[in-house]
A and B are shown apart, each in its own frame.
Chain A
Amino acid sequence: MPAPQSDLLQGTLDVLILKSLALQELHGMGISRRISQMTNGAFDVKAGSLFPALHRMEQAGWLKSAWGESETNRRAKFYSLTKAGRKQLQTETERWERISLAMSAALGAN
């Protein structure tokens, strides 16, 4: 049985989900597709990782959810960012910028 999150760092998934919800509220599949689109298809988030992450983040108070209508008129659960979630996105973004700068510096310098 392959570990569902082995190719995706937990922190990465969280920040991607937060980012995907920065502009509008989305349902589960919407988030998955949005992430795929944002990363040019590099990250394909499967349900097995997505839903635990969503529920965990909701528990943490970063997301809130509400039932609504999908584009196909299907009842679906829509997630949106809370105030704490926006703040978390802010900190995470800064952190990632620092890490990516540091990493490129490290890898660039032979």
Chain B
Amino acid sequence: MISRLRGLWNNVFRRNQLDRDLDEELRAYAELVSAEKMRAGLSPEEAYRDTRREMGGDEQIRQSVRDIRAGALLDRLAQDIRYGIRTLSRSPGFCLVAVATLALGIGANTAMFSLLDQIVLRLLPVKEPERLAMITERGNFYGDSYGPNTISWPMFEDLRDNNRVFSGMFCRFSTPVTLGDGDRAAQVTAELVSASYFSVLGVDMALGRPITPQDDSVPDSQPVVVLSYGFWQTYFNSDRTIVGRTIALNSHNMTVIGVAEPGFDGVEFGNPAKLFVPIMMKTEMTPRSDGLKDRRRRLQWVTAYGRLKPKVTMEQAQLSLQTLLHSILEMEAREPSFRGFTAADREQFLRNRIQLLPGSDNGLREYMRRPLWLLVALTGAVLLLACANLAGLLLARATAREQEFAVRLAIGASRVRIVRQLLVECLHLSGAGALLGLALAFIADRVLEKMYLSPDATAQFAVSPIPDVRVLLFTLCAMFLTSFTFGLLPAIRGSRTEIAPTISERSVSGAVGSLALRRTLVGTQVALSLLLLVGAGLSVRTLRNLENRGPGFPTEHLLTFSINPSLNGYSNEQTEDFFERLAENLQTMPGVSSVGMSGMPILKGYAWQDAVQGKDFQGQPKQDQPVLNMIGPDYFAALGIPLLAGRAFTVRDVGPAKYAVVNQAFAREYLPAGNPLGKRFRLVNFDDPSQLQRDVEVIGLIPDMKYRDLRETPPAQAYFPYYQDTKFRFMNFYLRTQVDPACLWTRFANACANSTRMFRWLDYRRSKSRLAIRCGPSGW
């Protein structure tokens, strides 16, 4: 072993000395043989000639000895690399084409892989993300849901305190808050988190301390905030003295207590959190919404997570929690708010169940998985095609270089050596291609993100200029694979060169043959490329169609944004006034055909569900409760939903709900006999028991459309005119425009500014990202 190591050392660093020794040794051998022959009676000249003949080529012996030395492989590789560079630099045109082709192929693949990696393959950057479960309640909730997969705060507390399957539980709620005030005000996403958030996730602090149970005991008592690392870097310039300083959130002074570890942006994928605030500060962060303090059980707003105890599986946890949920539901059903319920409705309610979802999963993953895999497959095919093309080029080149190979074979190169040499040349090409491809991938990822993700989500992507290890590894593999794919065949062909005919013929015929071959290859390539293009085009079209078919109404020329004046300290009256003036201003804007408003945003997982009663369907509770919404007069016109029968609301209908517009699914399920117009039903309202018995008259019928997300089958829906004292903190605006909404932006901003001085506090860029309704991931 030691002698081997010494040998390696000598071979690498004392190569010249070794070569001199070998020469000396061979000379000695030759002289000794000659001397022997002379002793046998030959003349010196004859002896010398005989010796030479017997010994064979000096150079060949030397080469075979060198080949044996340890580290010879390295030596020869270096030689091959030098030679490869020399050879390639003689045909720059070929190199350019080859490297460009490969760069495109490898670049596209790397770009796709890094997207796939980040969206589909990677889990949350927390400790053991696969042990994290999201706890959701399925069934008929009979209340308001602020967001998909939410549960009520009291429900969270009950589950947290009584479960036996989680080592820890936390909940969170994401909300925009106003940071700073005056001209420096900005709207940023904050995550309101329960005490055990950081400890259950296993996320450490880069600076300061995390939010702890002491921060989470008494409402309004702990004005503290933890910053996300990225936000600390960009907004506070990585200021290390930030801990202990005070910042204004919604005009409340909050003390910065820590900065979370790098890479952690909260648990909601596509909606990165910049700030983490104890959930006890809910009232300060979301003015006029008090789901925490009043402990409403009929308001779902927190997403709850638990970390499974060791050896507990998801299925076991779900079963165990189901029992717990049932007892909680029984308690809830005895509450006063359920008084107006029929026995059947109550029974249906008790059938609600717990569903555990992988906690590190995200909505994007579900939505993007198939198109991304498809695109990865397509780009993979493109790379293969690039390889085929290069193989063609190299084959042609190998044919042209037959003479060179013949000469090299003649002076003693082995065939293996020539194959290796050609493969090294290929590695040069693919190496350069890979480097260039990485750069291209970086650019391509930016473009793809823009195409597929909302800017908010883009911000969360860590596609840094320095790609991570997995992506680099992928590129490296792609590089080796490609060079072997396109290099091996031509190399083997090149090494099969027959020496004699090639050297003597100075083959012209070879060129002709290669031309034919090249033509075939180019033909194949063009055909395959076309096929791929058509395939890609078709699949993109299919995706598009799916998206367009999506919600059940046209989404082009539709602009949507949400506005929450309470964040700026607006009172109820001011809010009302603001909404009215804004709607008027927008209506008069040139290019806008109609302005719709709704209390619940559609296609964002939000829902409002109350129990619906009527004499026609008494005692027949439905599997799925209808979803409800409060809307402004022009809502249907703005969304482009036609009235099938009856009429939409007018300004005169604005007031407490007396009229309703329902969709076909609602009419089918709840008003089955005859014309639904004029039929009445009752809404069991939890907030205001005085409205309990109030009948609502159906005045219009609309076709089915989606409400919560694009995946659902259109649920039964009922719409009511939004009453002035809206219970919603924010209003969602839907503008149908005559031109591309992007063109309207400046005018839109001015119209908003005219409505109120408050609008300058809103982050325009953020609103701008909501240009045109996104039926893609951002909407979910």
Contacts and interface: CB of A to CB of B under 8 A. Distances in A.
B32 A75 contact: no
A52 B3 contact: no
B25 A77 contact: yes
Interface in B40-74: 54-56, 60-61, 64-65, 67-70
B28 A27 contact: yes
Contact of B69 (A1, A4, A29, A55): A55
Interface in B56-96: 56, 60-61, 64-65, 67-70
B21 interface: yes
B590 interface: no
A29 B3 contact: no
Contacts of B24: 75, 77
B7 A51 contact: no
B9 interface: no
Contacts of B55: 46-48
Contact of A29 (B32, B60, B61): B32
A47 B56 contact: yes
A63 to B, nearest CB: 10
B33 A29 contact: yes
Interface in B503-550: none
Contacts of A48: 55-56, 60-61, 64
Among the interface residues A46, A58, A77, which one has the most CB atoms of the partner chain B within 10 A?
A77
Contacts of B36: 29
Contacts of B33: 29
Nearest to B10: A59
Interface residues on A, range: 20 to 34
B28 A28 contact: yes
Contacts of A59: 3-4, 7, 68-70
Contacts of A55: 22, 65, 68-69
B412 interface: yes
Contacts of B68: 52, 55-56, 59
Contacts of A52: 61, 64-65, 67-68
A14 B618 CA distance: 100
B29 interface: yes
Nearest to A70: B32
Interface in A1-34: 1, 4, 27-29
Interface string B1-41: 00110010000000000000110111011011101100000
B4 A72 contact: no
A70 B35 CA distance: 12
A47 B93 CA distance: 45
Nearest to A57: B68
Interface string A55-70: 1101111000000001
A37 B101 CA distance: 63
B54 A46 contact: yes
Contacts of A76: 25, 28-29, 32
Contact of B32 (A1, A61, A72): A72
Contacts of A75: 24, 28
Nearest to A33: B36
A61 B70 CA distance: 12
A60 B26 CA distance: 21
A76 B68 CA distance: 21
B411 to A, nearest CB: 10
Given A46-B56, A76-B25, A76-B32, A1 B412 contact: yes
A98 interface: no
Contacts of A77: 21, 24-25, 28
A61 B54 contact: no
A4 to B, nearest CB: 7
Interface in A52-101: 52, 55-56, 58-61, 70, 72, 74-77
A70 B31 CA distance: 11
Among the interface residues B29, B54, B55, B65, which one has the most CB atoms of the partner chain A within 10 A?
B29
Contacts of B26: 47, 51
Contacts of B69: 55, 59
Contacts of B21: 77
Among the interface residues B21, B28, B56, which one has the most CB atoms of the partner chain A within 10 A?
B28
A60 B5 CA distance: 10
A35 to B, nearest CB: 14
A50 to B, nearest CB: 8
A78 to B, nearest CB: 10
A61 B4 contact: yes
B631 to A, nearest CB: 86
A56 B65 CA distance: 8
A1 B500 CA distance: 12
A47 B27 CA distance: 11
A4 B301 CA distance: 84
Contacts of A56: 68
Contact of A27 (B22, B32, B35, B61): B32
B52 to A, nearest CB: 10
Contacts of A1: 412
A61 B3 contact: yes
A28 B61 CA distance: 13
Among the interface residues A28, A46, A55, A76, which one has the most CB atoms of the partner chain B within 10 A?
A55
A51 B7 CA distance: 16
A74 B54 contact: no
A56 B267 CA distance: 62
Contacts of B61: 47-48, 51-52
Contacts of A47: 26, 29, 54-56, 61
A47 to B, nearest CB: 5
A17 B33 CA distance: 18
A74 B28 contact: yes
Nearest to B25: A77
A59 B32 CA distance: 25
A62 B179 CA distance: 78
Interface string B606-633: 0000000000000000000000000000
A57 B66 CA distance: 13
Contacts of A70: 28, 32
Among the interface residues A52, A60, A77, which one has the most CB atoms of the partner chain B within 10 A?
A52
16 contacts: A1-B412, A28-B29, A46-B56, A48-B60, A48-B64, A51-B29, A51-B61, A55-B22, A55-B65, A56-B68, A59-B7, A59-B68, A59-B70, A70-B28, A77-B24, A77-B25
Interface of A: 1, 4, 27-29, 46-48, 51-52, 55-56, 58-61, 70, 72, 74-77
The 8 A-B residue pairs with the shortest CB-CB distance, nearest first, are A61-B3, A76-B28, A29-B32, A52-B64, A56-B68, A47-B55, A28-B29, A77-B25
Given A48-B60, A76-B25, 10 more contacts: A27-B32, A29-B32, A29-B33, A29-B36, A47-B61, A48-B56, A51-B26, A55-B22, A59-B70, A77-B24
Interface of B: 3-4, 7, 21-22, 24-26, 28-29, 31-33, 35-36, 54-56, 60-61, 64-65, 67-70, 412
